[in-house]
Structure 1
Amino acid sequence: MIEQRGRVILVDDETSVRQTTAQWLELAGFTVTQFDNANAALAVLNPDYDGILVTDVRMPQMDGQELLQLALQQVPELPIILVTGHGSVDMAITAMREGAYDFIEKPFDPERLVETLHRACEKRRLTLENQRLLQRLHHNASIEDRLIGLSPAMDRLRREILRLAKLDTNLIIYGETGTGKELVAQCLHEFGPRAEQPFVPLNCGAIPESLFESELFGYEVGAFTGASKRRIGKFEFSAGGTLFMDEIESMPLNLQVKVLRTLEQGSIERLGDNRARSLNLRVVAATKTELKGDEAFRQDLYYRLNLGQLYIPPLRERTEDIPLLFEFYARQGAQQQQQDYQPCSVQEMRTLQHYAWPGNVRELRNIALRFGMDPQCNLTELLQPTASEQSDIASGELPLLLQVQNFEAHVIRQALQQYRGNIQQVMDALDLPRRTLNQKMHKYGINRSDFLS
């Protein structure tokens, strides 16, 4: 069965050339619609067209360059490839400045044309997907609108979130810095039975130890010097809803005892007040370190929280999501500046996918926003991890299981890269049976096709 690569509108006034090209593209997996003049092609174009346009340059009535301009007016960001047997450097530069995706001279290498069209179709798919996400995001219609990604790893994460959201139990989220732990916690809240109640975030690492107790439990007037008015603590404020405790590993040990007692008794006492106030809430904790066996973290509190676990994969484990995420946030940046978005070049997108992303989605979002706001910025210069991001990765502050999984996924990718996707050679090198290798590749979202020569 031929792999379906995308849809193509092909415009060329020379019948033999057009039909031969169309036949070649169809054999390569494209769905081709042929036209012998530019006006006929313009008549079928609309903003929802999910394919690309390939046109000859020299044609009677309307040439390819004029078609390029009119087509982009009808369908902005449509990938358009110009093909000509009478090209020049000036013509190519002009076409690219006017918005052409690529400029190919005749006689062309059919394999090169197929590869160019394949990339253009993928770009069109990403563009339309981003437009749909932007239109639907504020409605929060589905979890796919909140957690963006088409990789197997993200599919698994979304399924786990929906399953655990309904259970309405305390749980722990594991993930590196910048992977989106608070967003995952929000999804657990919004897709669970407490969605109409408060979602209260608390960063345990950002609160001074001297203020921790009052921040969590609140206080009455006169409870201590300076307590001139009553304050409702985070526990009480989130009653009925969800309390999200980020960086819970940084909570002082003496406070962990009080948090444990609160969860066990289902009630709190404000500072300066002896009355117990009942609580009904869900606690979602997040950490980038392994809590089990950590001497600085009470194990009885760990087991009270660990009624469920979620692992958020780092961006390097789902590189196929990078183009979609980058374009999504870059468009947001362009919208903030009220300017047209200038998409990444093919080379720039490859650079993005080969970058390590030590800061994960947070880093990608920041860089994409800057790229969208200022299309003249140098993407290579932006892709320089900060010292703090580098130290997060180097410190290895992840649960042992996650470090082992990261290493395992890295070894499999290296082997696939070395043997150019040859599964038999990878099996021999890693001493793994086919079934086990397939299971691990599926688990880590690794696609053999990404490593084929």
Structure 2
Amino acid sequence: MTDLNLPVLLVVEDDEGLQRQLKWAYEGYRVVIAGDRATAIEQVRAHEPAVVTLDLGLPPDPDGTAEGFATLTEILALKPDTKVIVASGHGARESALRAIALGAYDFYRKPIDIDELGLIVARAFHLHAIEAENRLLEDRDSGGGTILGSLLSAAPEMTKVARTVERVAGADVSVMLLGASGTGKELLARAVHQLSPRANGQFVAINCAAIPENLLEAELFGYERGAFTGAVKTTPGKIELAQGGTLFLDEVGDIPLPLQVKLLRFLQERVIERIGGRSPIAVDTRIVCATHQDLDAMQVAGSFREDLYYRLAEIVVKIPTLAERPGDAVLLARHFAKRFSRELNPQVHGLGADALAVIDAYPWPGNVRELENRLKRAVIMADGKLVGAADLDLPGSRAAVDEGEELALNLRAAREVADRRAIRSALARTEHNISGAAKLLGISRPTLYDLLKQYHLQA
């Protein structure tokens, strides 16, 4: 009788003899079998295996690898934490490189040695268990509050970003922050600086999109007296001012190509020359940059240098939009309402229930900056003690979900996502009052406590 509590191993193999051999070779796992891509995806949805062994030679292309690679891609798209061990005898080196590039955990060259493959499988299960435990700890630590000292968030998506920033801050590498306008890129750049060994140095920021092209070079590199009309005194540039500290290049995608060449030279040699100057100046500064643009597409189009990108993007941090951070809109709205009422309209004491509902439902295309501006206006315009939905002047509900949206892994996973989102929203609206949140959700307090425990969420 199969023990349903055992971890699941999915074997994707079209050879029936090898299927039987592998099915009985692994003790301590619940082994499920698939002989083609469609069956493999069905088994992933049904059983959510932690580990998969995948033969690349699957029908209708058993002598090639195309079907196997397609299966690998689909599995990881559905369940990215799955450890997929790819096995193949076709062009082993090329297949191994491609499989790892696509996200496979490991590669095994046929013919199969059961004992050797068993060790790889055991190691994959061990790593999967460690990663799952780390995710639980992250969820438990993702209650409402400030992270990185100044960033307000309750969402695990931002907690993950914060953990990344904390890890990379101590390493003297260039950091690229990618995110839509208004997502807090400069706050994160300052956090990189403040958590780094360069924290006692200057944090110098420059918005590359806000300065005309003919002035940007002078702003970055400085100039000598008499270098051009109006240069009445020698002036150091932003790079030089950031000596011993951090230079933040906001909207780096707007730097024109000729200036990209000069910036690349600085990054390679760590020396600059002011405009009109002849003496090289050594500068020791860390570069953190940010953009909302698609730099990959710009490289293809020839408007952003590939060699400069790799110098600037030693570490890339992707920042989620406010719509991708469940509960954060309400959390931030409360914060802004308190701040602006204190500064601009002391008679306002908070947000009404209708305002909270609208804030939680709206997609916030302008992200945190849009939310902040809306709250400032609403606090100023409010006539009563509470900001109402009318004061915000926002659409009343989130846009309908696109019919073409990809399905979740399975129904259980979809329910969990919906439950987590609803619980976080209810807790945010009630300022983490359990009785109030349970009432909003239409459940009892014990049921809410059970769900919090089940999903490892903080009350």
- TM-score range (shorter-chain normalised) is 0.5 to 0.7
Residue 220 (structure 2) aligns with: 216
The residue type equivalent to 1:360 in the other structure is N
Pick aligned residue for 1:357 from 346, 360, 364: 364
Question: For the structure 1 residues 438 and 347, does the alpha-carbon distance in structure 2 shift closer, same or farther, using more than 3 Å as the test?
Answer: closer
Shift of 1:448: 6.4
Pick aligned residue for 1:430 from 387, 395, 407: 407
Residue 75 (structure 1) aligns with: none
The residue type equivalent to 1:447 in the other structure is R
In the alignment, is residue 257 of structure 1 matched against residue 245 of structure 2? no
Q: What does 1:125-164 correspond to in 2, within 5 Å?
A: 143-164=147-168
Shift of 1:342: 2.1
Partner Cα separation in structure 2 for residue 203 and residue 303 of structure 1: 20
The one-character-per-residue Cα deviations of 1:314-341 (angstroms, maximum 9, x if unpaired) are 1111131111100111111111136143
Partner Cα separation in structure 2 for residue 301 and residue 270 of structure 1: 20
What is the aligned residue count? 276
Partner Cα separation in structure 1 for residue 344 and residue 218 of structure 2: 41
The residue type equivalent to 2:310 in the other structure is Y
The one-character-per-residue Cα deviations of 1:282-333 (angstroms, maximum 9, x if unpaired) are 1111111221242210000000011001111111111311111001111111
Residue 53 (structure 2) aligns with: none
| TM-score when normalising by structure 2 | 0.55
Partner Cα separation in structure 1 for residue 240 and residue 176 of structure 2: 21
In the alignment, is residue 227 of structure 1 matched against residue 234 of structure 2? no
Shift of 1:432: 2.6
In the alignment, is residue 331 of structure 1 matched against residue 335 of structure 2? no
Gaps of 5+ in 1: 1-128, 134-141, 386-409, 416-428
In the alignment, is residue 277 of structure 1 matched against residue 258 of structure 2? no
Pick aligned residue for 2:179 from 169, 172, 175: 175
Residue 39 (structure 1) aligns with: none
What is the SS of the residue equivalent to 2:289? strand
What is the SS of the residue equivalent to 2:262? helix
| TM-score when normalising by structure 1 | 0.55
Residue 421 (structure 2) aligns with: 447
Contact 2:244 2:285 in 1 (8 A): yes
Q: What does 1:337-348 correspond to in 2, within 5 Å?
A: 337=344, 339-348=346-355
Partner Cα separation in structure 1 for residue 252 and residue 237 of structure 2: 17
Q: What does 1:302-317 correspond to in 2, within 5 Å?
A: 302-317=309-324
- Quote the RMSD (CA, aligned, Å): 3.2
Shift of 1:250: 0.9
In the alignment, is residue 194 of structure 1 matched against residue 198 of structure 2? yes
Question: For the structure 1 residues 256 and 446, does the alpha-carbon distance in structure 2 shift closer, same or farther, using more than 3 Å as the test?
Answer: farther
Partner Cα separation in structure 2 for residue 317 and residue 232 of structure 1: 41
Shift of 1:181: 0.8
Partner Cα separation in structure 2 for residue 350 and residue 434 of structure 1: 27
Residue 327 (structure 2) aligns with: 320
Partner Cα separation in structure 2 for residue 364 and residue 347 of structure 1: 16
Contact 1:333 1:371 in 2 (8 A): no
Contact 2:181 2:367 in 1 (8 A): yes
The one-character-per-residue Cα deviations of 1:135-187 (angstroms, maximum 9, x if unpaired) are xxxxxxx7454110111112111111111111131011011111111111111
Question: For the structure 1 residues 168 and 143, does the alpha-carbon distance in structure 2 shift closer, same or farther, using more than 3 Å as the test?
Answer: farther
Question: For the structure 1 residues 298 and 383, does the alpha-carbon distance in structure 2 shift closer, same or farther, using more than 3 Å as the test?
Answer: farther
The one-character-per-residue Cα deviations of 1:334-392 (angstroms, maximum 9, x if unpaired) are 1113614322111210111111211100011112223334432764463459xxxxxxx
The residue type equivalent to 1:364 in the other structure is L
Residue 33 (structure 2) aligns with: none
Partner Cα separation in structure 2 for residue 375 and residue 436 of structure 1: 41
Partner Cα separation in structure 1 for residue 208 and residue 249 of structure 2: 6
Shift of 1:435: 9.1
Question: For the structure 1 residues 200 and 411, does the alpha-carbon distance in structure 2 shift closer, same or farther, using more than 3 Å as the test?
Answer: same
Contact 1:331 1:369 in 2 (8 A): no
Q: What does 1:55-66 correspond to in 2, within 5 Å?
A: none
Shift of 1:446: 5.8
The residue type equivalent to 2:184 in the other structure is G
Partner Cα separation in structure 2 for residue 345 and residue 213 of structure 1: 50
Shift of 1:272: 1.2
Residue 238 (structure 1) aligns with: 242
Question: For the structure 1 residues 437 and 259, does the alpha-carbon distance in structure 2 shift closer, same or farther, using more than 3 Å as the test?
Answer: farther
Contact 1:197 1:241 in 2 (8 A): yes
Residue 366 (structure 1) aligns with: 373
The residue type equivalent to 2:340 in the other structure is G
Partner Cα separation in structure 1 for residue 283 and residue 258 of structure 2: 21
The one-character-per-residue Cα deviations of 1:249-276 (angstroms, maximum 9, x if unpaired) are 1110110000000110001011111111
Residue 382 (structure 1) aligns with: 392
What is the SS of the residue equivalent to 2:350? coil
- Identity %, equivalent residues: 38
Residue 165 (structure 1) aligns with: 169
Q: Which moved more, 1:300-309 or 1:187-196?
A: 187-196
Partner Cα separation in structure 1 for residue 309 and residue 294 of structure 2: 10
Question: For the structure 1 residues 341 and 382, does the alpha-carbon distance in structure 2 shift closer, same or farther, using more than 3 Å as the test?
Answer: closer
Contact 1:217 1:268 in 2 (8 A): yes
Partner Cα separation in structure 1 for residue 186 and residue 321 of structure 2: 14
Contact 1:355 1:383 in 2 (8 A): no
Contact 1:330 1:373 in 2 (8 A): no
The residue type equivalent to 2:331 in the other structure is L
The residue type equivalent to 2:321 in the other structure is P
Contact 1:330 1:370 in 2 (8 A): no
What is the SS of the residue equivalent to 1:447? helix
Q: Which moved more, 1:297-306 or 1:336-345?
A: 336-345
Partner Cα separation in structure 2 for residue 194 and residue 380 of structure 1: 47
Contact 1:189 1:242 in 2 (8 A): yes
Contact 1:244 1:285 in 2 (8 A): yes
What is the SS of the residue equivalent to 1:286? strand
Q: Which moved more, 1:364-373 or 1:254-263?
A: 364-373
Partner Cα separation in structure 2 for residue 149 and residue 260 of structure 1: 36
Q: Which moved more, 1:348-357 or 1:371-380?
A: 371-380
